[in-house]
Structures are given as structure tokens and as C-alpha cells.
Amino acid sequence: MMQAAENRMVDVGGVDLHCRVDGKPGARWLVFSNSLMTNLYMWDAQVEALEQDYRILRYDQRGHGDSDLPRDPCDFDTLANDVIQLMDDHNIGHATLIGISMGAATMLRAAQLNPGRVKSLVLCDGAAATPAGGAAAWDERIALVNVGGMDALVEPTVNRWFLPGFVAEGSLSLNHVRGMIMSTELDGFKSCVSALQDYDFRDGLHKMYMPAQLIAGAADGNMPTAMRQMAEAMPKAEFSEIANAGHLPCIEQPEAFNAVLKAFLAQHG
């Protein structure tokens, strides 16, 4: 039997992080981490599909959603520590960590630094290192928001993340994404961009012995190739591609995404 969902704030080193627990008490824990410019509600379709069988913790990365703004620019060691501190606060000994885009890098780093806390790992549309030219691309986006605010990033981001047909449909889920982008605090965006501009965790991939499922939208540029290579470098990783999806397949193709996720969780339960 599920109990009512619980929203709360957790103090992590002086920064209050907003988190939510759903699902079945006493069941296996899943912890979800959101992408840049979104919040924990980006995972609604996954929670709906999994809450009967799992206990689910999701949270807003610092500077996003209802979490506090960081005092300083972020790095992924800090973002990874946020995950572990939230697990400690909820008395979670170990869990399956699931992250997408910036959340994938966060969960990758959390697993590298705390392998004993990770039962298994799911990484979606996220790289193990800043791509070539990535720092400059982020500088261009920061320049854009310095002039036009976060509103200036809404349509460019939506059109970069999703296929044209999905954008043209104008679904409720797409409008939900637009709202998450617009509501992201400018300073929160800039702080987390600093983490994305300069990181490289490739050297540690061969030491990650937990079961791992890597997923990428087939239309997400070079991401399928990068994630396939990442999976090949990890001892117990598998890679799956989601057809007709871009950067956020959990939103664009939730049924296909959930099928891969459920199969992996069942196999490594």
C-alpha cells in the first residue's frame, strides 16, 4: 500500500534542498536527479509507472525548482554530495540512482565517490565529460540570459531537446517543460552551468562495478555514440536507444523509456 507523498526541505551544508518521496513504504529505493533548467516533476511519468513497486526519492538540484540558490558556483563533487546527504537524511543505505543530462553527471559522480551506496545506476542522455566546445556553447547561453533572462532560453532549449513533431503537438508535458525553464532562477542556472563547463569522469568508468543502464534518445545528436562508448568502458553496463526521442526521452517517449527502466530494475532487483 502506498502512503501519501511527502514534500520537505532538507538542509545540506546550509542549502535547503526540496525533495519528495512517493511510492511503497519498505520497498527498494530509487533516487532521481533532474536536468538543468527542470525540477523533480520532470519525472512524473516515471513515478506513476513505478510507485506501486518502489520507494522513490526525487529532489530539485540546487538552484532549481524550490531548492535554494547555491552561494557559489557548483561542481559535480558538490552536486554528488547533495545526493548522498539526502539519502542519509532519509535513512537510505543504498539505492538505484537515476539521472538525466546534468542529473546523469551528478549520479555518475555520486556513484564513483560512493560505490557502496549504489545498488545500480541509470544514466540518461548525459556525458562522462564536458564535450569538445561545450564550455564555449555554455558561455553563449549565459550571454543570452544576461540580456533576455531565462525566457530567452525557452524556445531555443525546447527545440534543441525535442523533435520538431513533438514540439508542434504542443502537449501539456511540453508546456510543463517550458514552465520549468522559465521558473529556473538565473543564478541557479549559471551556478550549475559552471559544473557542466569543466568536468571529466572518464578515467573512473572502468572501476564502476555496479550494474548500469545507459539510455539515450536516438535523435540527441552525438549522445547515443558517446553513451555507447561510456557503456563499453563500464564493466557491467548496458546501452539502450529510445527511438523518436531527443534529449529528454523520459518526457518525449515515456512508455518506451519506462519499458527499458522497468526491465533493468527487474533484472537487477
pLDDT at 4: 72
pLDDT average, residue stretch 118-134: 96
Residue-wise pLDDT for 190-200, tens only, equals 999 999 999 99
pTM: 0.97
Indicate whether 128 pLDDT > 90: yes
pLDDT at 192: 97
pLDDT at 70: 86
Give the domain extent around 148.
6-267
What is the CATH classification number for the domain harbouring 237? 3.40.50.1820
Percent with pLDDT over 90 in the chain: 94
Choose the weakest-confidence range: 1-10, 55-64, 72-81, 162-171: 1-10
Mean pLDDT for all residues in the chain: 96
Residue-wise pLDDT for 148-184, tens only, equals 999 999 999 999 999 999 999 999 999 999 999 999 9
pLDDT average, residue stretch 112-124: 98
pLDDT at 5: 84
Is position 40 within any domain?
Answer: yes
Indicate whether 241 pLDDT > 90: yes
Is position 210 within any domain?
Answer: yes
Name the domain count of the chain: 1
Q: How far is CA 32 from CA 71, 99, 123, 152, in A?
A: 23, 6, 10, 28
Is position 1 within any domain?
Answer: no
pLDDT average, residue stretch 209-238: 98
Is position 69 within any domain?
Answer: yes
Indicate whether 71 pLDDT > 90: no
